[in-house]
Structure 1
Amino acid sequence: MEKKLITILGPTASGKTALAVSLAQKLAGEIISADSRQVYRDMTIGTGKDLDDYIVNGQPIPHHLIDICDAGTKYNLFQFQHDFRTAYNDICRRNVQPILCGGTGLYIEAVLKGYNLHEVPRNEKLRLELKDKTLEQLTEILINLKRRTQSTLHNKTDLDSCQRAIRAIEIETFNLRTPASKRTFLPIQSLIFGINIDRNMRRQRITQRLKERLDNGLIEEVRSLLNRGISAEALIYYGLEYKYITEHIIGKSTLDQTFRALETAIHQFAKRQMTWFRGMERRGFKINWLDAEMPNHEKTQTIISMIEEPK
């Protein structure tokens, strides 16, 4: 019998990966990452891949959709849907427990609901019309487009830069002119578990983790990408760590200014993640919330107990 998908979600720094790995180890499962930036090779520190976490007692835990495309390219939701399905179908075919884990709510919701998406081409005419507009002007255009398309498929990190906002407008414009008539994929039934972390604890963890990433070579990682010929514009597109550290390297800010601005941006990002997850609940998803302070083995056992409950 096909095993039901287990989904683990939560804001950044909540401990999602550690829980997913613990669960996969207990259930002999495999993890599918739902992170919009961990797909990129050589973007390890800034995306928080924590690849060592995928090894338990010397044994690697199988994982998918991490390090699958080159830094400097642009991975998107359409590609994620297809890559997820490939990994998910393969795992199910082998009768292994699939575990979806990540903080990109847009990606999670799209695959669970089976949204019909199109591969949106570049609209050069539109890009030319938008290229001199400010981020505030682009945000207003995007909000108005979303009202017309009634779209919930929008990740607010698209407003981190003008480039990302223009791409979001390009997608919404395409959707307005090309309405989806049916879903490409069927919805997937999933037991969903969320990690509920106290706001103050979340802020403390984010600040501490940012300090550790800087100490562990975040600036050197970004500089190495630039030295390989990846443009500053391409790295800024990825937002958060890559945006702010790139701007520091090219001389737009001091290290202290960068730390403070990036710290604030990550806090805001985590808040938006929680807003998305609460929105998923309003849109009909049942999320079983687990206290972040609960020891990991207890969270794991709680999930296993719920899986094993008589239907």
Structure 2
Amino acid sequence: MEEKEKLLCIIGPTAVGKTKLSLDLAKKFNGEIISGDSMQIYRGMDIGTAKITKEEMAGIPHHLIDIKDPKESFSVYEFQQLVRKKITDISNRNRLPIIVGGTGLYIQSVIYDYQFSNSGKDEKIRVQLEERSKLEGIEILYEQLKQVDPQAAEQIHPNNVRRVIRALEIYLSTGITMTEFKAKQQKTLLYDVALVGLTMEREKLYHRINERVNQMVQLGLIDEVKKLYDQGLKHAQATQAIGYKELFTAFDGEVSFEDAITTLKQNTRHFAKRQLTWFRNKMPVEWFDMTDPLDYEKNLQKISRYVAGMLNFKANT
């Protein structure tokens, strides 16, 4: 039997401390980091996606960052194919591939035997749905999705036009909901994988999220979003991300910047809650509580032992 490639995944909600841990584990295990964030692929979207800087990388190779223009779309299938190739490339150099991120579906598509097919694709239905979203508003379609597939609706943001339409397209063209379609997928792990999940006491996490948003604003988030706004990217896939769409409403004059930032904090907190629920329900994760910063070194040692044991991979001393 062919030996599986080894893979470490570090997952968890936004602002929980994945980046710091990933750097420390990459040093310990001769690792290279693959971004598992669906928005860090876009150039010029640095502050709002909490993208790691060149200085912070500390010489550790990072992959799948800044590979797309914000005008371009990006699919789960494309991510799956790119990441699987990177895993093989890194493994062939006797280094440990480490996926780090909070986009659960993207990571799940890589580590499981997740097949993408043309089933549920019907251009005629999709065009009709797109026309309806323009005429009636995406809210009407989202309500329809909640009726036919409440589980899918729970995982899709109401403003994510592309994914709402895709979920309805699958149902209307096949009679099978997106949730049922995903349930039929094979749940065979393709890699010898260690899934490390980071969690934190909720109030502490929410405080960190609020502080992170304040810091983003100080670093120039509003100017970053203004550049995208001026490029006419209001309806681009990239700008549906939290941190961008909220500020677009302020540039449209619909709300004040102060209110937009309050909404941004609220949406990020809700997103973190959804991320935790998703990971707990979908993957065999080993969870580590990062609430107390004084316990960080102890947690690092504990996580290192877990990874070494799971992957039979010797850590650097």
Q: What band does the TM-score fall into relative to the shorter chain?
A: 0.7 to 0.9
Q: How far has the Cα of 1:296 moved from its partner?
A: 3.7
C-alpha deviations, 1:92-150, integer Å up to 9, x for none?
12221111110111112221222111376853233224433444432233245547xxx
1:66 partnered with 2:65: yes
SS of aligned partner of 2:235: helix
Match of 2:114 in 1: 115
Match of 1:24 in 2: 26
1:306 partnered with 2:309: no
- Partner Cα separation in structure 1 for residue 89 and residue 296 of structure 2: 28
- Partner Cα separation in structure 2 for residue 97 and residue 241 of structure 1: 32
* Greater mean deviation of Cα atoms: 301-310 or 217-226: 301-310
1:266 partnered with 2:257: no
Match of 1:291 in 2: 290
2:48·2:216 contact (CA, 8 Å) conserved in 1? yes
- Partner Cα separation in structure 2 for residue 116 and residue 143 of structure 1: 25
2:242·2:268 contact (CA, 8 Å) conserved in 1? yes
Identity of aligned residues (%): 32
SS of aligned partner of 1:131: helix
1:3·1:92 contact (CA, 8 Å) conserved in 2? yes
Paired residues, number: 300
Residues 80, 42 of structure 1: CA spacing in aligned structure 2 closer, same or farther, 3 A cutoff?
Answer: same
Q: How far has the Cα of 1:8 moved from its partner?
A: 0.6
Residues 184, 192 of structure 1: CA spacing in aligned structure 2 closer, same or farther, 3 A cutoff?
Answer: closer
Match of 1:84 in 2: 83
Q: Which residue, out of 241, 249, 252, partners 1:250?
A: 252
1:161·1:236 contact (CA, 8 Å) conserved in 2? no
SS of aligned partner of 2:248: helix
Match of 1:45 in 2: 47
Structure 2: which 5+ residue stretches go unaligned?
313-317
SS of aligned partner of 2:243: helix
Residues 223, 121 of structure 1: CA spacing in aligned structure 2 closer, same or farther, 3 A cutoff?
Answer: farther
Q: In structure 2, give the amino acid aligned to 1:307.
A: V
C-alpha deviations, 1:273-304, integer Å up to 9, x for none?
111012125xxx14233434254433332222
Q: How far has the Cα of 1:52 moved from its partner?
A: 4.5
Q: In structure 1, give the amino acid aligned to 2:113.
A: G
Match of 1:216 in 2: 219
Structure-1-length-normalised TM-score: 0.84
2:16·2:199 contact (CA, 8 Å) conserved in 1? yes
Residues 217, 136 of structure 1: CA spacing in aligned structure 2 closer, same or farther, 3 A cutoff?
Answer: same
Q: How far has the Cα of 1:196 moved from its partner?
A: 1.1
- Partner Cα separation in structure 1 for residue 173 and residue 55 of structure 2: 40
Q: In structure 2, give the amino acid aligned to 1:252.
A: E
Match of 1:188 in 2: 191
2:39·2:238 contact (CA, 8 Å) conserved in 1? no
SS of aligned partner of 1:233: coil
Q: In structure 2, give the amino acid aligned to 1:249.
A: F
1:78·1:117 contact (CA, 8 Å) conserved in 2? yes
Structure 1: which 5+ residue stretches go unaligned?
none
1:235·1:246 contact (CA, 8 Å) conserved in 2? no
